[in-house]
Structure 1
């Protein structure tokens, strides 16, 4: 493809920083299958493979309902399906992995959220996303660790994410893990009718607790699901959903950048996870493009790409 033509294509689908290389949704999906797929099981889930399911209820905050023009928040409570997961394609991954995920489905696809335990992403556009996956794909059964190290230092997004994750601990429970939207969404203000850019997170009411080095050594590889079942048998696991409104100079279309300084916050409501539901939801798809009236999608180059990749990989699991 001629490079001038590349410049005219939507960033959400393509990037031409590498001449001749097009990272669209199909290409990204293919890379995921090369990295995490299984020729003997073509229907395998290829990311966030290990996980379990739960049910809960979301209780909107009255102050948020008064501030935000989101009719869904006028409800007294919203039934919510929850899936907890680990990043990667290994069904038997260790729960000591730092990469955690939480997906939510409020009501009947009234609002779907897909979050991780990191407030930033490793890539800011499709080209970086594709490169990140490609350098991890084994060649002749061998992963080139030196190339991964070298490329991580060369690409600022990779380098910044690796540095951030070095400081992330391994939490002892999903009840003690904070989950982030990473993307910036837009929330309608009731008074001004303007859409306010904000990132959101689910903050555990019990606090964030990391395992110590000594605890990591004596803890097995499968503790999150067991811990969850023990906890909800006694009381719900509770998170506050908090919006962090963007300041004037915050990057809202780059998921690799942290926001710094003080920000206005809005407590949207409280999620109470009450019931363990096994693994039935592991084959489902949680599409973050499912948004309620009053919430608009992110404008960064990766959000729509993620939704397209989810659609492709979900269809292959059928």
Structure 2
């Protein structure tokens, strides 16, 4: 075989080997995520298909004077608003261990005086697992266990190598311990939104929730104990001492900051504004059980970006919500 033909054959084989890992050939569909979470965690009827393990809490939110003065948004009127919260672990397994080195979720639904709702959904990590739904779906599919109950690590490693946007979250988790308590974690909105200012400007923002109790992780000894359930108990014990509070810190984006890629974190030195305080006063009831915490449910003054991961949340959450309410 001539040398040039041999080189062409080798190149073609290399392309065919990498191509399935490099991109999804079809757009991800909402039900694809429902299916893959079931493959990862098993079928658990009547529960959330993702973040199935969690605990409800109740409390309120009061906007700061700075937010009321700067933003033209009903949520920042300055009135104290009732809020239903939910803390959670990712995945569809309701028995997921609390010591696992995975993100923690924190969602909230605000009830405004005019009867409208406003939702936020956050994670205690500053970046998402992938830049778009197709890559995230591919990452989940590459993580599905085989017949031996374990994922194919070679396949998973190859996928990550072909998709560098999956690395920031992996690196962050490797350098941070899981939270000691739901009350000692910083939570990030991850996605970009827009907020109207009093001057009529549409301002690009992201946010994080800063705990008044400070950020504290588990020790290596506590992780080694492998206690499967302690987060809900620690939250309840902490609330016996008084309210658990978080400051809502809004960051203002610059033109060069990512809008539609949640795998990219904005620089820490961006201008910020403390928009108010979220307060939790009790936990452990069922107030959040029938709430769909879709972060695209926004009140007047807010609007969503075209982030494809953010956009995918609405239909995927709706399917999960419908299945949960119907006992599927």
Common fold by TM > 0.5:
yes
Quote how far apart the aligned CAs of 1:29 are: 2.5
CA contact (8 A) 2:23 2:135 kept: no
Equivalent-residue separation in structure 2 for 1:219 and 1:231 (angstroms): 21
Q: Is residue 302 of structure 2 the alignment partner of residue 287 of structure 1?
A: no
Partner of 1:18: 24
Equivalent-residue separation in structure 2 for 1:59 and 1:183 (angstroms): 22
Partner of 2:105: 101
Equivalent-residue separation in structure 1 for 2:53 and 2:240 (angstroms): 22
Structure 2 residue runs of 5 or longer lacking an equivalent are 1-21
Quote how far apart the aligned CAs of 1:141 are: 4.8
Q: Is residue 148 of structure 2 the alignment partner of residue 144 of structure 1?
A: no
CA offsets per residue over residues 20-58 of structure 1, 9 Å max, x none? x331212232222332341xx443322111111110110
Match of 1:77 among 76, 80, 101: 80
Equivalent-residue separation in structure 2 for 1:99 and 1:190 (angstroms): 35
Distance 1:109 1:141, change over 3 A: farther
Distance 1:212 1:253, change over 3 A: same
Equivalent-residue separation in structure 2 for 1:259 and 1:196 (angstroms): 15
CA contact (8 A) 1:201 1:241 kept: yes
Equivalent-residue separation in structure 2 for 1:167 and 1:109 (angstroms): 40
Partner of 1:27: 32
Q: Is residue 203 of structure 2 the alignment partner of residue 200 of structure 1?
A: no
Alignment TM-score, normalising by the size of structure 1: 0.89
Quote how far apart the aligned CAs of 1:248 are: 2.5
Q: Is residue 255 of structure 2 the alignment partner of residue 248 of structure 1?
A: yes
CA contact (8 A) 1:37 1:46 kept: no
Partner of 2:92: 89
Equivalent-residue separation in structure 1 for 2:323 and 2:196 (angstroms): 36
The more displaced of 101-110 and 126-135 is 101-110
Match of 1:111 among 106, 109, 118: 118
Equivalent-residue separation in structure 1 for 2:255 and 2:27 (angstroms): 33
Match of 1:229 among 224, 230, 236: 236
RMSD after superposition: 1.8
Partner of 2:191: 183
The SS at the match of 1:282 is coil
CA offsets per residue over residues 134-176 of structure 1, 9 Å max, x none? 1122333542122112222221011222112211211111111
Structure 1 residue runs of 5 or longer lacking an equivalent are 1-15
Distance 1:221 1:42, change over 3 A: closer
CA contact (8 A) 2:65 2:78 kept: no
Q: Whose radius of gyration is greater, 1 or 2?
A: 2
